[in-house]
Structure 1
Amino acid sequence: MTLIDVLAFTWFCLCYFGYAWAVRYGPLKSRRGLVAAVNDRRAQWMETALRRDIRIMDAQLLTSLSSGNAFFASTSVLVLGGLAAMLGAVDNVKTRLEQLPFISDTPLVLWEFKILFLMMLMIVSFFSFAWAFRLTHYVGTMFGALPLQSEAYTEEAQAHARKTAELVGLSGRHLNSGLRTIYFAMAGLAWFVSPILF
């Protein structure tokens, strides 16, 4: 691995972990961005659902959230399988891709490392999506236990709605984490072209 590859990989790790930290604990946590606005809407959604007598639409929304998480989890597994196949035929893949004029000549060991690196990112994204999917099942249970419309204005009902909204928000946070990992993995593809692009 050349110095430029080491620097590129280090820069990637700093960006990936640094951004995740900044969003979760650092200066970006307190910013009123899209995530905060959506969390406010989630709380409003649960408070409104409390006052609805028929909650079929809300159940359909929860099903949609769950399906989206399952889709991304299965997509991560498919990409992981493709990368595993690529790792199994790395000699052939390397030979063919390096015939392209914009792909840099790289040792075989580094090709294997790059593929393993992308596989690791796909594993992380899969577990983020799978956990978000699991959380939507917990949300479904909490939603099913929402008090009746006649009890909507009690403190207990309001607290239950808040906790349900927080759980939906937690599921959304893990979904965002998985998506962010996929975006970084897409940036990682540039490493096959050149460490400078990466």
Structure 2
Amino acid sequence: MSLLDHLTLLTPLDGLAALFLLLCWVGIGWRIEHPSAAKPSVTLLMARYQTDWMVAAITRENRIVDATLLSTLRLGTSFFASTCLLAIGGLLALVGNTQPLETVAEELTATDAPAFVWQIKLLLVVLLLAQAFLKFVWSHRIYGYGTVLLGAIPNDPSDPLTKTRAEQAGALNIRAALNFTRGLRAMYFALGGLAWLLGAVPLIVASAGVCWLLWSREFASTPRGILTRLDG
């Protein structure tokens, strides 16, 4: 059978469910990164503090604390990148041998689907995790750039390069945090994508649930309330 013949094993509802997940992923990402001016997301609120942090570092001759904080942020990206690799490896092992998965899924859904169907559903999750891995790795690298810029900030506040270097370091940290957040979003939707193993409707429900969860954490969470109260 050709690839197109294999794809016909999926129902139209399966295709719509997978498309819905991808639209939710892209849509909520755009909404978080391009919110209205009246209601900024937590991601944008925190971005303001990235530059403030680096500007505040100008007056600190000893920047060990700042370097330690950046190192801690890099460790977080390393942890999640490693987690993605482990998850991808496990899923690829299942793609190569879907028999254990078929047995469990058939008991839960009472359906008997060909191995290719299970492989396609797993590959969607693998692709999302691969995207998350790449974002975490890039975030790790940018945090490294930010650390170098932190070290390049002159100790003399009157130096014309001081504020420029601080703003550059802040901008790099913002990009690193943005990519880290994108990686986390991809992981959230990868977890939601596992619901496809139970069927198209569970995938739609899980996608909507993940979308709502991400929206609530960015626009209706306690941390956001704290940040906006402090800003006010």
Whether the TM-score (by the shorter chain) exceeds 0.5 is: yes
Identity of aligned residues (%): 31
Greater helix share, structure number = 2
Q: Which among 39, 50, 54 is matched to residue 47 of structure 2?
A: 39
Q: Answer yes or no: is the 8 Å Cα contact 1:23–1:29 preserved in 2.
A: no
Q: 1:144 and 2:151 equivalent?
A: yes
1:96-136 CA-to-partner distances (Å, cap 9, x unmatched) read 3322x356543321101011111111111100000000111
Q: 1:117 and 2:124 equivalent?
A: yes
Q: Answer yes or no: is the 8 Å Cα contact 2:57–2:63 preserved in 1.
A: yes
Q: Answer yes or no: is the 8 Å Cα contact 2:122–2:194 preserved in 1.
A: no
Q: Answer yes or no: is the 8 Å Cα contact 1:104–1:193 preserved in 2.
A: no
Q: Residues 9 and 103 (structure 1 numbering): CA distance in 2 closer, same or farther, change over 3 Å?
A: farther
Deviation at 1:13, TM superposition (A): 1.6
Q: Answer yes or no: is the 8 Å Cα contact 2:77–2:137 preserved in 1.
A: yes
1:177 matched residue in structure 2: 182
Q: Which amino acid aligns with 1:185?
A: A
1:25-72 CA-to-partner distances (Å, cap 9, x unmatched) read x5x275422112211111111111110111111111010011001111
Deviation at 1:14, TM superposition (A): 1.4
Whole-Å separation in 2 of the counterparts to 1:76 and 1:21? 23
1:192 matched residue in structure 2: 197
Q: Which among 153, 161, 185 is matched to residue 156 of structure 1?
A: 161
Whole-Å separation in 2 of the counterparts to 1:156 and 1:186? 45
Q: Answer yes or no: is the 8 Å Cα contact 2:153–2:165 preserved in 1.
A: yes
Q: Superposition pairs for residues 34-183 of structure 1, below 5 Å?
A: 34-99=42-107, 101-102=108-109, 104-148=111-155, 151-183=156-188
Indicate the RMSD between aligned Cα atoms, in angstroms: 1.7
Unmatched 5+ stretches in structure 2: 1-9, 204-232
Q: Which amino acid aligns with 1:20?
A: G
Q: Residues 104 and 21 (structure 1 numbering): CA distance in 2 closer, same or farther, change over 3 Å?
A: farther
2:26 matched residue in structure 1: 17
SS at match of 2:202: coil
TM-score, with normalisation over the residues of structure 1?
Answer: 0.90
Q: Which amino acid aligns with 1:90?
A: T
Q: Answer yes or no: is the 8 Å Cα contact 1:104–1:192 preserved in 2.
A: no
Whole-Å separation in 2 of the counterparts to 1:45 and 1:22? 26
Whole-Å separation in 2 of the counterparts to 1:64 and 1:6? 41
SS at match of 1:196: helix
Equivalences, count: 193
Whole-Å separation in 1 of the counterparts to 2:110 and 2:57? 54
Whole-Å separation in 1 of the counterparts to 2:178 and 2:162? 24
Whole-Å separation in 2 of the counterparts to 1:170 and 1:29? 20
